[in-house]
Each structure stands twice: as structure tokens, then as C-alpha cells.
Amino acid sequence: MYICTNSNDRTMGSNVRVRFAPSPTGPLHIGGVRTALYNYLFAKKHGGDFLLRIEDTDQTRFVPGAEKYIVESLAWCGISPDEGIGGEDRGNGPYRQSERKAMYREYAERLLASDKAYIAFDSADELDVMRQMAKEAGAANWQYNYITRGNMKNSLTLPKEEVEAKMAAGEPYVVRIKLPRDHEVRFEDNIRGWVSVNTNNMDDKVLFKADGMPTYHLANIVDDHLMGITHVIRGEEWLPSAPLHVMLYEAFEWSCPEFAHLPLLLKPDGPGKLSKRDGDRLGFPVFPIDWKNEQTGESANGYREFGFYPDAFINMLALLGWNPGTEQEIFDLAELITAFDLSKVSKSGAKFDFEKGKWFNQNYLRGLSQNQLASELKRELDNSGLTYKEEFLGKIASMMSERATFSKDLMTEGMFLFQAPVEYDEKTRKKKWRQESAQMMQDLVNRFVDLKDFTEGPVEEAFKNYLSENDLGFGKVGPSFRLAVTGKGMGPSMFVICEVLGKEEVIERIKKAIRVLG
């Protein structure tokens, strides 16, 4: 039996080193961002290092711009690598596997020399045929393993001379791990506890490809070892290959890092893990920032551009699969670092809930000061090319903030403050605009004309005086007043709106409403 041999508690001291190792095959999914976040939180919590390494061993899947996207996404989230891509070079580089290509062959050969691996000449096509035949015969999954390898073209079955001749002739070959038969591979996952798999159920995975590049499995183990990684924190989709990785550490006679396999982010509705399609289908982003593949034209929407604040986004992701064990839900990055604990990460997948995500953003927005809200609003207005009075920005921002989830709502929810209504809400018009409304509005105009100070207080006073002097209820005049000035049936206090709009504008709007609504 092989048991992962790792030293007991590596969170002590300041030697924790973790890495986020994405493959640059496209934009980074929010699940990936969460993995990076957990790695980062764990490292910072223990005073360790967070490295960013690019796993680009598959030349065929390289997507230009993807690496830059990854770095920019993490930066937006406030996750900064201590070392590696986007961080410092501390002598453990290069940090792109494609640039480390030369060193992997040596490790493959080491395994070959110690009989932990072997050379195989079977082509990908030949293997496909084997799999296909097995499938048609109704057999279980065909595997290249301790049973089948005896019938394949490899250095275990072929005479030594023939193997050498083939290699000399330049025939393509791969290096496969030689798994021992019937051994229980065990390792203790920091989230799941003991995980155990028998090598009889595993296959002799390719470690080194015919194109001269290592596979993920080899490169990953070699790099983690060389870079001194102490904790491997990654998605659950890696759990099935973790035993193979343990066997590789074993074969190299290296000690294993600690493992922690994170639960997956699942679709909000149906079964399966969250995908780009779900975002398109359900109308929410699945990526941190906007993405555009210049070659294919493929694009995707991001949280940043959707209007999320990085803190809110991070807060939302952190709570998806982890909780502090208390009732606190609102955290900034620093608080997350102190509260984070791998043992509090849940085991089961989390269905993604965009509604809750919006709540985090709304919550964050409410925490902003009036000045901050004002500058958010100003930015939105400037982007839209709308005109506004600078001195009212703060007032408008705080007035609109209670009905805003995103910065853009500060503006869009109060559009009538920047543009005169072009149409009037039909429902309100039918229910509230009566025969006598036009006359009432005219009466109000007459009173407003004489008002010297057209601020909230005086406007309210004038309005209420009109009501009491004519024995009218608020409900008789208020709604049509609002309709006339804003075109809407609901919204913030009319008196504040009047102050912001100014006397001339209010009077003009009422007059127009009288003409249009009759």
C-alpha cells in the first residue's frame, strides 16, 4: 500500500507556498477565480506565498490573450501573485511550462531508468481503435494498464534492440507511468479526509508526449516539487487524477504536498457544472471581466463590466463553498484572509445563485459614502454624455442609492432627473390623471412661480398649503404631480426632485404635461 507521505502540519511557520496554475485556453471562469482566491487566502492567512504559473503544455490549445486575461482578472479582484507570472521571479522560474520544456525530459528519463515508466509506440489512432473495439464488444472502459500493456507496442513487450531501433529511426513514442498492480493509493485530502484508490482501477497515463512536451501530470508534479509547493488547492475535477499524482511523487521519491480538492460551482438550474452557456442562457456573467478572442471573435461578458465591485464579487465567490462558521456574510479581502480556513470549505458542489450575488453588490454600494456615490454617479453620467448640475450630485446619489444595486442604477433609476419625460406611465395616467388634474397642475404652477426659494422645504410647504387651502388629499394631487414632472408613478420624494430640477424646469415640465395629458 502506498500512502502519501507528507509532513504533518505545514501551515506552521511561514513556509506555506501555494500556486494557481491555469491553462491559457480561454477566459478564466469564475470557478477558476474562486480557486485562485482560496489559494491566495490560504497563503496570506499563513503568511506564505501565492504563485501564478501558466500550464501551457498543450500547444494546440493555446489561445492568444488568455494569459493576459488571467493576470488582469486576478488584479481586478485584488489577488496579486507574490511570485511567478504577474509577480516576482524568485529564481524558481520560468513560470510558463512551455518555457520549461527542456527540463521535463530529464525527469521522464529518471522514471524510465528506475523502471517506474516505460516507452510506448502505440499511436493515438491505434489506441482509439482499441477503445472503439472494446466499446463495441460491450466491455468496460478500455485502459492502458497492467493487463493490456502486455499486448501493446512498448518497451515492456518489445525486444530491447527493436525499441532502440524504433527510437533511432525517429518513430514517435510516449512515456507512460508503470503502475504497480493491486496497490491501494491513499492520501488525506484537507477537505475530504482519506481518499483511497486501487491501482488496478487506474491506467498507465502518458507522462511525456510524442511532441516532446510533458503532459499536465508530469509537468505539474515536477514543477510543484521544484517550486516548493506545500499545498495543492484545486477543483474537484482533479480528484480522480490525484492518486496518479501521488504515485508520481512516490516514483520520484519526493514527499507529497498537502491536497485540498474544492467543490465545484454548479448550474443554477439543471444538473452539471457551471458553464459559459449558462451565463448566456440565464443572463448573467460567468467570467470576471469581459473577454474577446481576437482571432475567433468569440466574446463573453464579465462581472466588472456588468457593474460589480471587486470586493462584492470576491465576497460572493468566497462564500460559495466556504463559510466562516459564524453568521457574518460581509467580508472585505483582509477579513477573508483572517477568517479563511480550509476545514470550513464544504464538500458538495454549490449551485450558483446570481440573485445572491447582486445582494452582495447592493450591500457594498450601500456602504459607500455620499462622496463615493457621487463620483460613481458622475462617472456614469459622463459616460452617457448627460448633463447635470455638479452641486446636486451628492444629493441625487444618496437619494438613488437606496434603490440601486449597481452604480449604473444611480443614474438609470433617476433618468428623469437628467432628461424631461418623453412619455408618461400609462397605468398611472389611467388611474391617477383625472379630469381636474390639469387645473390642479396649473394651480401648482401658479404657486411655484412666486416661490423665491425653490428648495425642498419651501416647495413642500407650498404644495401642502395648496392642499389644505383647497381641502385636497395628497392622493388627489401627488400622483399626477409626479406623473407630470417625472413621467412615472413612483420614485423618491417629489420635493427633493423639484429642488434638483429647479423651478424653471419643473414649471416647464408641468406645462408640457398639461398639454400632452389634457
Partner RNA sequence: GGCCCGUUCGUCUAGCGGUCCAGGACGCCGCCCUUUCACGGCGGAAACACGGGUUCGAUUCCCGUACGGGUCACCA
Tell me which of 215, 315, 437, 480 binds RNA, using CB under 7 A: 215
CB-nearer residue toward RNA: 320 or 449: 320
DSSP 84-122: ETTSB--SS---BGGGGHHHHHHHHHHHHHTTSEEEE--
Task: Mark whether 276 is an active-site residue.
Answer: yes
CB-nearer residue toward RNA: 191 or 333: 191
310/332 Cα distance (integer angstroms) = 10
432/426 Cα distance (integer angstroms) = 10
Shortest separation between residue 435's beta carbon and RNA, angstroms: 20
Helix (H, G, I), strand (E, B) or coil at 60: helix
Q: Considering the rule CB under 7 A, would residue 73 count as an interface residue with RNA?
A: no
Q: Kindly name the residue from 101, 273, 276, 408 that is annotated as catalytic.
A: 276
Binding-site size, RNA (CB under 7 A): 84
Q: Tell me the C-alpha to C-alpha distance, in Å, between residue 351 and each of 35, 272, 297, 318, 343.
A: 16, 9, 30, 14, 20
Tell me which of 192, 379, 511, 512 binds RNA, using CB under 7 A: 192
479/477 Cα distance (integer angstroms) = 6
Kindly indicate which of the ranges 35-43, 107-115, 207-215, 388-396 contains the residues binding RNA, using the contact rule CB under 7 A: 207-215
Shortest separation between residue 129's beta carbon and RNA, angstroms: 12
Shortest separation between residue 421's beta carbon and RNA, angstroms: 15
Kindly indicate which of the ranges 224-232, 288-296, 367-375, 487-495 contains the residues binding RNA, using the contact rule CB under 7 A: 487-495
CB-nearer residue toward RNA: 164 or 237: 237
- Of 402-431, binders to RNA (CB under 7 A) are 402-403
271/275 Cα distance (integer angstroms) = 11
CB 58, CB 24: distance < 8 Å: no
Q: Considering the rule CB under 7 A, would residue 347 count as an interface residue with RNA?
A: yes
DSSP secondary-structure letter at 130?
H
126/41 Cα distance (integer angstroms) = 46
Tell me which of 75, 127, 134, 514 binds RNA, using CB under 7 A: 127
Kindly indicate which of the ranges 233-241, 248-256, 292-300, 505-513 contains the residues binding RNA, using the contact rule CB under 7 A: 233-241
Kindly indicate which of the ranges 43-51, 69-77, 124-132, 445-453 contains the residues binding RNA, using the contact rule CB under 7 A: 124-132
377/370 Cα distance (integer angstroms) = 10
Q: Considering the rule CB under 7 A, would residue 470 count as an interface residue with RNA?
A: no
Cell numbers for 409: 442604477
Shortest separation between residue 391's beta carbon and RNA, angstroms: 22
CA angle 352, 355, 357 (to 5 degrees): 70
Shortest separation between residue 461's beta carbon and RNA, angstroms: 13
94/114 Cα distance (integer angstroms) = 27
Shortest separation between residue 127's beta carbon and RNA, angstroms: 5
Cell numbers for 14: 511561514
CB-nearer residue toward RNA: 15 or 414: 414
CB-nearer residue toward RNA: 91 or 475: 475
Q: Considering the rule CB under 7 A, would residue 167 count as an interface residue with RNA?
A: no
CB-nearer residue toward RNA: 73 or 220: 220
Tell me which of 115, 211, 280, 461 binds RNA, using CB under 7 A: 211
Helix (H, G, I), strand (E, B) or coil at 244: helix
481/441 Cα distance (integer angstroms) = 7
Q: Which residues contact 240 (CB under 8 A, 6 or more apart)?
A: none
Q: Considering the rule CB under 7 A, would residue 272 count as an interface residue with RNA?
A: yes
Q: Considering the rule CB under 7 A, would residue 187 count as an interface residue with RNA?
A: no
67/64 Cα distance (integer angstroms) = 7
CB-nearer residue toward RNA: 203 or 250: 203
Q: Considering the rule CB under 7 A, would residue 449 count as an interface residue with RNA?
A: no
Tell me which of 90, 105, 166, 273 binds RNA, using CB under 7 A: 273
Tell me which of 131, 166, 183, 276 binds RNA, using CB under 7 A: 131
Q: Considering the rule CB under 7 A, would residue 206 count as an interface residue with RNA?
A: yes
- Of 7-66, binders to RNA (CB under 7 A) are 21-23, 25, 55, 57-58, 61
- Of 82, 30, 86, 51, the closest CA to residue 318 belongs to 30
CB 262, CB 35: distance < 8 Å: yes
Q: Given its phi and psi angles, is residue 292 left (phi above 0), alpha (psi -120 to 50 degrees) or beta?
A: beta
Strands of 343-491, DSSP E: 350-351
Shortest separation between residue 385's beta carbon and RNA, angstroms: 26
Give the pairing of strands 350-351 and 265-266. Answer: parallel
Tell me which of 491, 498, 499, 507 binds RNA, using CB under 7 A: 491
Tell me which of 195, 227, 410, 506 binds RNA, using CB under 7 A: 195
- Of 183, 111, 121, 175, the closest CA to residue 146 belongs to 183
44/38 Cα distance (integer angstroms) = 10
CB-nearer residue toward RNA: 353 or 436: 353
Q: Considering the rule CB under 7 A, would residue 136 count as an interface residue with RNA?
A: no
**Beta-bridge mates of residue 3:** 186
- Of 94-123, binders to RNA (CB under 7 A) are 122-123
Kindly indicate which of the ranges 41-49, 297-305, 316-324, 368-376 contains the residues binding RNA, using the contact rule CB under 7 A: 316-324
Q: Considering the rule CB under 7 A, would residue 276 count as an interface residue with RNA?
A: no
**Residues annotated as catalytic (active site), given as ranges:** 276
